[in-house]
């Protein structure tokens, strides 16, 4: 009986994978135009999600000048971040249950509605609320992009395209502040939101017209209780990392209450997931060693990347004398190295089917690069710091999308959305913790050094904030300004040294990743992927891994089917050779 159920599940999975890739013929060669159009639309959607906060950050002073509400300014970013983080796992589960295409298009529409309303906001309260709506949509954008790539592209080919998505992320970080400043100066801050509308409509039309994925209708009910508990838990975590050390002291009652609520909600969430018929995050995916390790590596990558992006411009402005605009451009060595390395890693993964070397090398480069950054002082030249940043960027480029590829490759097709959303969530939470913990350490060192070097005046200068803008810095007496430069150098030393230590954990985790050769149409044959896996779906994103999934042997193969235009179904008896069936006509 169990064998029959496993065979049925395997055949259903193979058929679903075949349907999902109907638009992607001949994955080993040149992609048909329809698939290229879909990939372009996915890149636009990813760009929207990544670019938004970068653009808005530049427009913030102008927004406050018109709408007022300076005391609520941080909530413009916090509301977006909270909504994105809390909705990410839910979007992934909804895509698995009800079909990827419709859920992804819904997230685009919600993002565009939030963008339009944000552009029309008349006060700070409205803007914060509309930014939350925008964040809800953004959570589905990032998850949907990765899950759809998992549906369309075989694992062997997927690294190339996910490397392109990492490149989009780097471009957003480089171009976001420049684009935001240009739009704000010439068109006004409202166009920082309106600019999303034409791009989003293009992506929506392309997805609607060209992307063809099978429609789903799950019989099980949505796990509303689990979703609510997870939302409360994530919200509490993000608020703790956002408010701790800034709005409230780390030991304050508010922070302690949030920690207690978050822990209780997450413990309740884990309990509910063990009993839910359709859990939001099926806990069995963590039985895969590779998936669990990649979640940890992704968390640390987010921890390091956003911490570096926050503190490097501050060091460049305060210590090296760069302007706000130039400090963004001075990040080019890191982001450029990340862009190039991610593309190279994707290409090499596609051509060889091997990937373990990239998490190992990437983690090692992050450790070395962050240690080098921690050695910067007031005499470090821009060339030297640029070289150090390039080392860190190369490490992050090796990790950013390989973690997603390995995570998707470690689960069954039916859990593709959940795997994508969980990996994205860990990276998002890593960024929140990175900014909070590295920020707390930075602020503490700046305060101590200012007190040591400038006495009471130094302590007074930084009592409100350890991060001074260029205008505030220029008003300081020479002695206080010099003391602040040494304080910032000391603060970045502590923050980056912490990042290097944390990256060691990622290196250890990467070493224990079990490499399972990826399969794809370019291979032309179905090799066994370890002792436990007799096959892997070329398009399902799940290759058989020994110990990763007991059901790995039930996944279908589509390499020859995608080239010949017919569908290959997995037989009920795994030892029986696969038989070809004519391709079903589209309904």
Residue 15 within a domain? no
Contact criterion met (CB below 8 Å) for 170 and 342: yes
Q: What percent of the chain has pLDDT over 90?
A: 19
Q: Is 204 helix (H, G, I), strand (E, B) or coil?
A: helix
Q: Parallel, antiparallel, or unpaired for β 567-569 and 579-581?
A: antiparallel
229: left (phi > 0), else alpha (psi -120 to 50), else beta?
alpha
Given a cut of 60, is residue 13 above it in pLDDT? no
In a domain, 586, yes or no: no
C-alpha separations of 130 from 80, 133, 134, 503 in Å: 9, 5, 6, 36
Q: Three-class SS string for 317-347?
A: HHCCCCCHHHHHHCCHHHHHHHHHHHHHHHH
Instruction: Please name which of 569, 541, 575, 543 lies closest in space to residue 556, comparing C-alpha atoms.
Output: 569
Ranges assigned E (strand) in 115-233? none
Give per-residue pLDDT as tens, 90-119: 998 888 888 888 899 999 999 999 999 999
The two tokens of residue 13 are 């999975």
- Is 7 within the bounds of a domain? no
Q: Are residues 234 and 380 in the same domain?
A: no
Total residue count of the chain as it appears in this document: 587
Split at pLDDT 50, 70, 90, the class of 363 is very high
Q: What's the confidence (pLDDT) of residue 261?
A: 94
Q: What is the pLDDT at residue 543?
A: 37
Indicate whether 288 and 357 sit together in one domain. yes
**Considering the domain boundaries, does residue 322 fall inside one?**
yes
Please identify, among 515, 531, 550, the residue that sits at the C-terminal boundary of a domain.
515
pLDDT for the residue numbered 370: 94
Terminal Cα distance for the chain, rounded = 32
Into how many domains does the chain fold? Answer: 4
d(C-alpha 582, C-alpha 449), whole Å: 74
Closest listed residue to residue 140, CA positions, set 202, 86, 201 = 86
Whether the Cβ atoms of residue 165 and residue 401 lie closer than 8 Å to each other? yes
Query: Is residue 220 very low, low, confident or very high in pLDDT (cuts 50, 70, 90)?
Result: low
Query: Domain ends where: 192, 211, 230?
Result: 211
On the question of pLDDT at 521 being above 70, the answer is: no
pLDDT of the residue at 525:
33
Residue position matching structure tokens 């949907």: 144
pLDDT band, very low/low/confident/very high, at 24 (cuts 50, 70, 90): very low
Single out the residue in 183, 211, 239 at which a domain terminates.
Answer: 211
Q: For residues 100 and 213, is the Cβ–Cβ distance under 8 A? A: yes
d(C-alpha 516, C-alpha 542), whole Å: 11
Q: Identify the DSSP state of 542.
A: B
The answer to whether position 572 is within a domain reads no
Q: Looking at per-residue confidence, does 469 or 518 come out higher?
A: 518
Mean pLDDT of the chain: 76
* pLDDT one-digit tens code per residue, 445-485: 888 888 887 666 656 665 555 556 556 666 777 777 788 88
Q: Which residue has the higher pLDDT, 539 or 311?
A: 311
Q: Is the pLDDT of residue 184 over 70?
A: yes
pLDDT in tens, 65-97: 788 766 677 788 788 888 888 898 899 888 888
Structure confidence by residue, pLDDT tens digits, 526-585: 333 333 333 333 334 333 333 343 333 333 333 333 333 333 333 344 444 444 434 333
Same domain (yes/no): 536, 445: no
Compute the radius of gyration of the chain from its Cα atoms: 24
Clarify whether residues 345 and 267 are in a common domain: no
Regarding whether 325 and 370 lie in a shared domain, the answer is: yes
**Does pLDDT of 319 surpass 60?**
yes
Residue 1, domain member (yes or no)? no
Coil, helix or strand for 521?
helix
| Structural domain includes residue 326 | yes
In terms of domains, do 203 and 63 share one? yes
- Model confidence at 325, pLDDT cuts 50, 70, 90, reads low
Question: What range defines the domain where residue 542 resides?
Answer: 518-563
Query: DSSP readout, 13-32?
Result: HHHHHHHHTTT---TTSPPP
E strands, 361-508, are none
Same-domain check for residues 442 and 322:
yes
Q: Do 448 and 526 belong together in one domain?
A: no
Residues 238, 107: one domain?
Answer: no
Closest Cα to residue 229, out of 257, 169, 269?
269
User: Percent of the chain at pLDDT above 70?
Assistant: 75
pLDDT at 169: 76
Look up tokens 């939302």; give the residue. Answer: 231
> What mean pLDDT comes out for the span 125-145?
90
Does residue 587 fall inside a structural domain?
no
Let me know whether 245 and 347 are in one domain.
no
Q: How far apart are CA 83 and CA 80, in angstroms?
A: 5
pLDDT in tens, 263-281: 999 999 999 999 888 888 8
pLDDT in tens, 388-429: 999 999 998 888 778 888 888 888 878 888 888 888 889 888
Cα 525 to Cα 65, 535, 552, 573: the distances in Å are 63, 10, 17, 19
Q: Are residues 522 and 510 in the same domain?
A: no
CATH number at residue 406: 1.20.1250.20
What is the reported pLDDT for 201? Answer: 92
State the average pLDDT over residues 46-59.
Answer: 78
Exposed / middle / buried, residue 587 (Cβ in 10 Å: 0-12, 13-18, 19+): exposed
**Do residues 348 and 297 share a domain?**
yes
**What does the pLDDT read at residue 520?**
54
What was the pLDDT predicted at 458?
A: 57
Question: Is 346 in contact with 161 (CB distance < 8 Å)?
Answer: yes
């Amino acid at each position: 009986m169990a064998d029959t159920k496993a065979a049925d599940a395997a055949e259903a999975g193979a058929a679903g994978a075949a349907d999902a890739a109907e638009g992607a013929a001949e994955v080993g060669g040149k992609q048909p135009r329809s698939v290229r159009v879909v990939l372009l639309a996915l890149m636009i959607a990813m760009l929207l999600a990544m670019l938004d906060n970068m653009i808005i950050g530049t427009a913030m002073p102008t927004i406050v000048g018109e709408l007022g509400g300076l005391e609520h300014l941080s909530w413009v970013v916090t509301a977006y971040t909270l909504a994105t983080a809390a909705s990410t796992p839910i979007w992934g589960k909804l895509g698995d249950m009800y079909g990827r295409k419709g859920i992804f298009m819904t997230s685009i529409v919600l993002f565009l509605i939030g963008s339009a309303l944000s552009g029309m906001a008349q006060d700070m309260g409205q803007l914060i609320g509309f930014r939350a709506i925008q964040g809800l949509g953004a959570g589905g954008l990032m998850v949907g992009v990765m899950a759809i790539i998992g549906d369309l592209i075989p694992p062997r080919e997927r690294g190339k395209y996910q490397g392109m998505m990492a490149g989009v992320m780097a471009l957003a970080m480089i171009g976001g502040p420049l684009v935001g400043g240009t739009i704000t100066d010439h068109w006004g801050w409202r166009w920082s939101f309106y600019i999303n509308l034409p791009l989003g409509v293009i992506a929506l039309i392309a997805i609607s017209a060209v992307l063809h994925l099978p429609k789903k209708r799950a019989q099980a009910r949505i796990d509303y209780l689990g979703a609510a508990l997870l939302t409360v838990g994530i919200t509490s975590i993000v608020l703790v990392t956002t408010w701790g050390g800034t709005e409230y002291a780390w030991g304050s009652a508010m922070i302690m209450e949030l920690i207690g609520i978050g822990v209780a909600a997450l413990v309740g969430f884990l309990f509910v997931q063990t009993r839910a018929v359709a859990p939001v995050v099926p806990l069995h995916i963590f039985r895969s060693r590779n998936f669990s390790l990649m979640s940890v590596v992704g968390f640390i990558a987010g921890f390091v990347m956003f911490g570096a992006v926050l503190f490097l411009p501050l060091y460049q402005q305060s210590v090296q004398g760069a302007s706000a605009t130039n400090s963004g451009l001075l990040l080019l060595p890191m982001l450029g190295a990340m862009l190039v390395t991610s593309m190279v890693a994707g290409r090499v993964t596609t051509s060889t089917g091997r990937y373990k070397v990239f998490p190992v090398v990437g983690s090692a480069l992050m450790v070395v690069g962050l240690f080098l950054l921690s050695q910067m002082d007031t005499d470090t030249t821009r060339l030297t710091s640029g070289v150090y940043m390039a080392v860190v960027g190369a490490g992050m480029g090796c990790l950013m999308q390989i973690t997603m590829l390995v995570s998707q490759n470690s689960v069954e097709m039916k859990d593709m959305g959940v795997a994508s959303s969980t990996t994205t969530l860990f990276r998002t939470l890593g960024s929140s913790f990175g900014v909070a913990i590295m920020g707390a350490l930075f602020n503490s060192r700046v305060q101590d050094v200012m007190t040591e070097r400038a006495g009471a005046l130094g302590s007074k200068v930084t009592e409100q904030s350890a991060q001074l803008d260029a205008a505030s810095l220029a008003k300081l007496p020479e002695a206080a300004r010099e003391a602040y430069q040494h304080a910032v150098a000391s603060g970045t030393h502590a923050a980056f040294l912490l990042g290097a230590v944390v990256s060691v954990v990622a290196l250890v985790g990467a070493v224990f990743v079990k490499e399972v050769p990826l399969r794809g149409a370019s291979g032309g044959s179905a090799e066994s992927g370890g002792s436990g896996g007799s096959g892997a779906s070329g398009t399902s994103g799940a290759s058989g891994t020994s110990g990763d999934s007991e059901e790995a042997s039930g996944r279908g193969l589509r390499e020859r089917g995608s080239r010949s235009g017919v569908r290959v179904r997995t037989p009920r008896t795994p030892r029986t050779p696969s038989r070809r069936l004519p391709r079903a006509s589209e309904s």
